[in-house]
Amino acid sequence: MANTSDFRNGLCINFNGKIFQIIEFQHVKPGKGPAFVRTKLRNLDNGKVINNTFTAGIKIETVRIERRNYQFLYKDDMGYNIMNSETFEQTSVQECLINAPKFIKDGMDVTVLFHAENEEVLGVELPQYVEYEITYTEPGIKGNTATNATKPAKIETNAEIRVPLFINIGDFVKVDTEKGEYNERVKK
């Protein structure tokens, strides 16, 4: 058992009979009334995010989670097929368990969250920053760079992101998979 002072990003708790992961939290101590903790929780069963407020100091049941390294192989009608990097055991997971499925590409190393007691897959996390090749974007127009202007671009996974005007087809960019945003251009 833990209490609200033990909250941290990534902590998994048992809440209302389901397993949730804390995405973000904020301790609030108003001038009037008791302190409380605002949280954003992700349901690990279906990926939905909810907001919840806990009274400061209440007891919370934590869930022991193991993180294991896997490699994404391919997607088929059964789901996303991943392979354990150590035992070479293959498993299929559903799209709702992946934190950013539109950014996953063949051969990518991912982290799989397992419930420690019953070996159930709870989620699949991609690396925060991944490099992709731009497969399509409109050419940038000279003189149009007075502000931080962006344009749409497709990356090799067919996902669409916004990039600066100087990015062209064939360029490599680093993308923040958590936010789904362009981070920087990569020299190859």
Q: What is the pLDDT along the chain (188 residues), one digit of tens a residue?
A: 888 889 998 889 999 989 998 999 999 999 888 999 999 998 887 778 899 999 998 999 999 889 999 999 999 998 999 999 899 999 999 888 888 899 999 999 999 988 888 888 888 999 999 999 999 998 876 666 566 788 899 999 999 999 988 889 999 999 999 888 999 999 87
Strand locations in the chain (E) = 2-3, 12-15, 18-28, 36-43, 49-55, 59-62, 65-76, 79-84, 90-93, 109-115, 121-125, 129-137, 150-155, 160-164, 172-176, 181-186
* Domain annotation for the chain: domains and CATH numbers: 2-62 (2.30.30.30), 65-125 (2.40.50.140), 129-186 (2.40.50.140)
